[in-house]
Amino acid sequence: VPVPLDDSHEFTEEDLRFAERYLRTHYDLRPNPTGIMKKSANTMASKLREMQAFFGLEVTGKLDEETYELMQKPRCGVPDVGE
Amino acid sequence: YNFFPRKLKWSKTNLTYRIMSYTSDLRRAEVERAFKRAFKVWSDVTPLNFTRIRSGTADIMISFGTKEHGDFYPFDGPSGLLAHAFPPGPDYGGDAHFDDDETWSNDSRGYNLFLVAAHEFGHSLGLEHSRDPGALMFPIYTYTGKSGFVLPDDDVQGIQELYGAGDRDPNPKHPKTPEKCAADLSIDAVTKLRGEMLVFKDRFFWRLHPQMVEAELVLIKSFWPELPNKIDAAYENPIKDLVFMFKGKKVWALNGYDIVEGFPKKINEMGFPKEMKRIDAVVHIDDTGKTLFFTGNKYWSYDEETEVMDTGYPKFIEDEFAGIGDRVDAVYQRNGYLYFFNGPLQFEYSIWSKRIVRILHTNSLFWC
Distance from CA of B107 to the nearest CA of A (A): 16
pLDDT at position A2, please? 67
Bond before B210 cis per omega within 30 degrees: no
* Closest CB to B82 among A56, A58, A75: A75
Q: What is the mean pLDDT of chain B?
A: 94
Residue of A nearest to B131 (CA): A54
Q: How far apart are CA B234 and CA B242, in angstroms?
A: 11
User: Per-residue pLDDT for B354 more than 60?
Assistant: yes
Active site residues of B: 120
Q: Among residues of chain B, what percentage have pLDDT more than 70?
A: 100
Taking contacts as CB-CB distances below 8 angstroms, the residues of chain B near A79 are 129
Checking if the pLDDT of A37 tops 60, the result is no
Asked if residue B350 has pLDDT above 80, the reply is yes
Smallest Cβ–Cβ distance between A76 and the set B82, B131, B216 belongs to: B82
- Between B186-200, B204-218, B311-325, B345-359, the lowest mean confidence (pLDDT) is in B204-218
Task: Read off φ and ψ for residue A53, nearest 5 degrees.
Answer: -65, -40
Residues in chain A within 8 Å Cβ distance of B212: 58
Which chain B residues have a beta carbon less than 8 Å from that of A54? Answer: 129, 131
CB contact under 8 A, B216 and A26: no
How many CB atoms lie under 10 A from the CB of residue B121?
A: 25
Its sign, for the CA torsion B169, B84, B115, B30, is positive
Q: Is B119 helix (H, G, I), strand (E, B) or coil?
A: helix
| Subunit contact B128:A78, Cβ cutoff 8 A | yes
Buried b vs exposed e over B192-229: b needs ≥16 C-beta within 10 Å?
bbeebbbbbbbbbbbbbeeeeebbbbbbbbbebeebbb
The pLDDT tens digits for B186-244 are 999 999 998 899 999 999 999 998 877 788 899 999 999 889 999 999 999 988 899 99
Q: Are B284 and B291 in contact (CB under 8 A)?
A: yes
Which of A2, A6, A7, A14 minimizes the C-alpha distance to A43?
Answer: A2
B280: closest CA of chain A, how far (Å) = 30
Where does the pLDDT of residue A41 fall: very low under 50, low under 70, confident under 90, or very high at 90 and above? low
Question: CA B298 to CA B280: how far, in whole Å?
Answer: 10
Residues of chain A found within 8 Å of residue B67, distances taken between Cβ atoms: none
The reply to whether residue A56 touches residue B141, judged by beta carbons under 8 angstroms, is no
Does residue A38 carry a pLDDT above 60? no
φ and ψ of B19, to 5 deg: -95, 110
Q: Given A54, A75, A83, which is nearest B131 (Cβ)?
A: A54
pLDDT at position A11 is 87
Question: Is the model more confident about A43 or about B244?
Answer: B244
User: Are B341 and B326 a contacting pair, CB within 8 Å?
Assistant: no
Query: Across residues A69-73, what is the average pLDDT?
Result: 95
Q: For residues B5 and A78, is the Cβ–Cβ distance under 8 A? A: no
Whether A36 shows a pLDDT value over 70: the answer reads no
DSSP state of A75: B
